[in-house]
Structure 1
Amino acid sequence: MTEKSIPLPSLESIRSKTSKIKRVGDRKFERDDSGCIFDELSSDVVRGLLWVDKSGSEYVVVWFFDLPGHAYISFCKKGDTHYTDIPLYYPDDHWLDGLSYMVLGRDRLYISTSRRYIQVLDLSGPQGFFKDITEGKPFPMLSRYQSWDSSIAVTTSGEVLLVESDPCQRNCFRVYKKNLNVKDPDSASNTVREVYSLDGEALLLDLGFTVPANDTLGIEPDSIYFTRHYRPCQCSPCDLDICVFNLVTKSLKRFPGLDDMNLMDARWFLPGN
């Protein structure tokens, strides 16, 4: 842990060929996107992710305005003097339109689009650089339970998981991996295969990553640690529910003692060395 602050560029510092942002009040912003003006923007609807290395010397920030129709993610790394836009709208490839969920790990940004296609962006390189390493061929993560809440996670080996939870009972999860036997994923209604363990790892769903199980730290294998089932864009806040779900036994363990703290939000995390 470190008490060092991280100086970030101002939100209006974005470099873009098609749009610009200007501050119009203490917490208000206006975006001009090729002549289309969006003036309902404020710091209250900014959502983002932060990755910091163990030493605190390197970091990546990704953020967006969480409003219907938002068409950009913006990011910067240590040393950048401004944010760079990543478009969420592709006129020639509607599979990549929109944002449902994202996971940030060092120089990799994993995006689940509105149609549940997975796009992986490489953010390494000089300022303003990003590259789609799915090479324009994103893979849909589609299950039979389209009505369930969904998010994505990334394993220690870099494999993307689809994680679904029952929006009604709130006590069950399903986890899927990409089904390599699907010959035409673009026309298939089910492109994943369900898995019933995490291969001895544990999933910190709040962060979107699996970690090795660790008896010393109390990290149980094949378990999903979460505080909210679902953290999507444009969704009303859900009740805080600090739990561990065991994928093998299908059992749920809650921590009701934390209710007395009247927390507005909470997330599981791993302490640094």
Structure 2
Amino acid sequence: MKLSSSLSSALSGSPWLMLSPEEGGCMLYNPKEGNIERDLLEDFPGCRVLANSGNWCLVLDSGSNLFIVDVFSKETIHLPSLESIRSTTCPIKRVGDVVRGLLWVDKGGKDYVVVWFFDREYNHDCLSFCKKGDTHYTDIPLFDRDAHWYRGLSEMVLRGYTLYITTSRRFVRVLDLSGGHEQGYSSFKETTRPFPMLSCYESCDSSIAVTTSGEVLLVESDPWNRTWFRVYKKDPDIEDPDSSCHTVLEVDSLGGEALLLDLGFTVPADDALGIEPDSIYFTRHYRPSQWKGRDLDICVYNLATKSFKRFSDLDVMNLMDARWFLSED
């Protein structure tokens, strides 16, 4: 089923919302008009959206099977079984809805990268990925015997073939996933030495984001009354960041771009499309790997005016999750 031409035109490049009610399904919501346009997963009962990239969604079904679907054309790409991972660090079995993931699909839908991991309460020790042409998932180790600050997983951002991982100690690893295939597995490599993104406010909730130029940002929010965001970039003047207690500089602008915190990256602002400059679009104040218990708060925050735009009409809905959505068409 294709979108009507009027809805496709309205969606193109504009920020909409994907809403996941607790009773199931996934709805497309127009924040400008304040109405729901359609159920995106009406042909996939019992499925849950883990991530999205443009019109494509990474979906988990009731049998813990993963696939990618274009929510408008319904084109479907089936992915390798979760048990196909080759790992020396953790055994794999079907785990239901504790699986979380990230997705990138190129604009033509010809190539893709899928990253998934287990969301455990105390330990995040299983991270894997696959690309088009893979028959198995490739394990990404999350430990380093010689450098404990590189261990663990707090958060991830996937931008094309580049995966950004925040470790438990707030160091950022940058991985290139574009390597070739061997016996159904893909290779990867670290592109730079892990670097810390540390502010002087350790009690804040924090996320990372990546700009259109590839710069990594630290985004912090108030964990108590949710009244502000702070955005930082790396401090280039620190000679030995590994030994510093804070390694970032606060900025008061996103350079005219807008940040989609759910996706972890910035996009160019566009008044015609309703993408506001120097604004943070979010549904939770941060999205680390362990998000259970964090309430939804669907808003746009303007860095210049320090003000929130909330969508109060969604408060009455029984939502399990939500995410900002940009269509490609």
TM-score after normalising by structure 2: 0.74
Aligned to 1:131: 189
1:259 Cα offset (Å): 2.1
Distance in 2, Cα, partners of 1:129 & 1:75:
10
Secondary structure of 2:245 counterpart: coil
- Structure 1 residues 132 and 254 mapped into 2: Cα distance closer, same or farther (>3 Å)? same
Q: CA deviation at 1:239?
A: 1.5
Q: Is the 8 A contact 2:175 2:190 kept in 1?
A: yes
Instruction: Please give the per-residue CA displacement for 1:7-42, whole angstroms capped at 9, x wherever unaligned.
Output: 1000110123x256454xxxx4xxxxxxxxxxxxx1
Which string of whole-angstrom CA distances, capped at 9 and with x for unpartnered residues, describes residues 114-135 of structure 1?
110111000002122100001x
1:228-243 → structure 2 map (5 Å cutoff): 228-243=284-299
In structure 2, distance between residues paired with 1:236 and 1:267: 15
**Whole-angstrom CA distance in 1 between matches of 2:277 and 2:90:** 47
Distance 1:20 1:140 in 2: 27
Question: Amino acid of the residue matched to residue 63 of structure 1?
Answer: W
Identity %: 69
For structure 1, the residue ranges without an aligned partner over 5 or more in a row are 29-41
Q: Residue type matched to 2:179 in 1?
A: G
Pick the aligned partner of 2:85 from 14, 21, 25: 14
Q: Which residue of structure 2 aligns with residue 145 of structure 1?
A: 201
CA offsets per residue over residues 175-234 of structure 1, 9 Å max, x none?
A: 000001111111111100000000000000000010000111100000000000122223
Give runs of aligned pairs for residues 1-273 of structure 1, distance below 5 A.
1=55, 2=70, 3-16=74-87, 18-19=88-89, 21=91, 23=93, 28=94, 42-67=95-120, 68-127=122-181, 128-134=186-192, 137-273=193-329
Contact 1:244 1:252 in 2 (8 A): yes
Aligned-partner residue type, residue 82 of structure 2: L
Q: In structure 2, what is the Cα distance between the partners aligned to 1:145 and 1:22?
A: 37
In structure 1, distance between residues paired with 2:146 and 2:258: 38
For normalisation by structure 1, the TM-score amounts to 0.89
Comparing 230-239 and 211-220, the one that deviates more: 230-239
| Native 8 Å contact 1:14 1:20 kept in 2 | no
Q: How many residues align structurally?
A: 253
Q: How far apart, in 1, do the equivalents of 2:106 and 2:267 lie?
A: 16
Compare 97-106 and 50-59 and name the one that shifted more: 50-59
Q: Which amino acid aligns with 1:123?
A: L
Aligned-residue CA RMSD (Å): 1.3
